[in-house]
Each structure stands twice: as C-alpha cells, then as structure tokens.
Amino acid sequence: MQRGRPPRRRADGRLRTIYHASLTAGSIWPENPEHRSRTMTRDDIMEKVVEVLEDALGADPEDIVPAASLTADLDAESIDFLDIVFKLEQTFGFKVAQGELFPENLTDNEEWVQGDDITEAGMAMLQEKLPHVDLTPVIETKKVSKLAGIVTVDSIVNFVERKLASAG
C-alpha cells in the first residue's frame, strides 16, 4: 500500500528522487570559496535555483519564473522545503539554518499571531528573519492566510545572493 502522494516526475519524464541529484551532481564552485560571490551573477544564481526547483519539485522550467510562489504556483509541500534546502546547500556550498529560508512555527506563538492576525511583534519578527522575502501582501493585511504564497522563486534567489555576499 502506497502512502502519501505519488512520486513526481521531472520535466524530462524521469522519476525524481529526493537528494539524488544533489549527491551526484557535485558543486558548481571553483576550488577557492573566496571567489564564490564574485563568480556568480544574479542570472547565474537564477539558473541554478531553477535547476534546484525543477529537480526538487518536478516542475517544468518554464513555470519556474521569479514571481512564481513555491506553494501556490509550483505545488511545493512541507517535505519539498527540506529537499529544496538540502539541494541549495549542495549547489551553493553554504548551510541554511532551520527557519532561515522559510518561516516556521509562526502560528504556534501567541505573541506573533492571534487568530488569523499577525501582531506587530510577529510582523517585526518576519521582517527581521525573512529579509529576502517581499512581505508586501502580509504587511498590507497582517493576515496569516497571506503567508502561504510569499516565498517565491525570486525570494530564493534573493536569499542565495545574501548568503553568498555574507560568505564573501
């Protein structure tokens, strides 16, 4: 008996396997890690992020555009976020702390959320922890329901740019 959703297929029709590409593809980096941020343009980063998302989500590359929401447009689920983080770490050569890329446990803290409303403390926490994400829809409404679609392909590219800049 199969549990959960059926396996996703990559754009080329092959079944996707979690972590397989990351473990076999190797790193894109030159030998000297000091050159990482200088060797990659935003377009280079976008190209690699598209590859990561294509493999992790089984999405078609033409659907992976900057404004695409990972959950709403690319059908990412919570298990996919783990795979995305792992593949980003392997591809770009940095570590991602838990909750650094995607918001976690926000609704479990009454100081941050009351019902469907995000408190001022919650908004401050989001702005501090997620500088790579465009929080405009959340800032305008302060509704938890707006959080689902805020992580986009562009926000992942922003995150990678920030990580590489801080490492260099």
Quick: pLDDT tens for 68-108: 999 999 999 989 999 999 999 999 999 999 989 987 888 88
Give residue 16's pLDDT. 52
Is 2 within a domain? no
Considering the domain architecture, whether residues 143 and 65 belong to the same structural domain is answered as: no
Residue range 141-161: mean pLDDT, rounded: 94
Q: Which of 3-7, 12-16, 123-127 has the lowest mean pLDDT?
A: 3-7
Whether 64 is in a domain gets the answer yes
CATH of the domain at 160: 1.10.1200.10
* 93 and 28 part of one domain: yes
The pTM score is 0.76
Q: How many CB atoms lie within 10 A of CB 15?
A: 11
Looking at residue 25, its pLDDT comes to 42
Q: What is the pLDDT of residue 22?
A: 38
pLDDT at site 9: 58
Q: Is the pLDDT of residue 166 over 70?
A: yes
Q: For residue 29, what pLDDT band results from cuts at 50, 70 and 90?
A: very low
| Residue at 164 is within a domain | yes
In a shared domain, residues 97 and 124? no
Rounded to whole angstroms, the Cα distance separating 120 from 111 reads 9
Contact indicator for 94, 164 with CB cutoff of 8 Å:
yes
> Is 154's pLDDT higher than 60?
yes
137 and 90, same domain (yes or no): no
Judge if 18 and 37 occupy the same domain.
yes
Residues 162 and 83 grouped into a single domain: yes
What is the pLDDT, as a whole number, of residue 163? 95
Q: Is residue 124 part of a domain?
A: yes
Q: Is 53 a member of any domain?
A: yes
90 shares a domain with 60 = yes
In a domain, 9, yes or no: no
Are 143 and 66 within one domain? no
Q: Which domain holds residue 115?
A: 103-149
Mean pLDDT over all residues of the chain? Answer: 83
Does 73 lie in the same domain as 33?
Answer: yes
98 and 108 assigned to the same domain: no
How far apart are alpha carbons 155 and 76 in whole angstroms?
Answer: 15
pLDDT value of residue 6: 52
pLDDT of 107:
82
Distance, in Å, from the CA atom of 17 to the CA atom of 119, rounded to the nearest integer, reads 40
> 85 and 29: one domain?
yes
Over 70: is that where the pLDDT of 150 sits? yes
Based on the domain organization, do 83 and 20 belong to the same domain?
yes
Q: Output 103 or 138, whichever has higher pLDDT.
A: 138
Residue 129 reports pLDDT greater than 60: yes
Structural domain total, the chain: 2
C-alpha closest to that of 113 among 126, 105, 104, 122 = 122
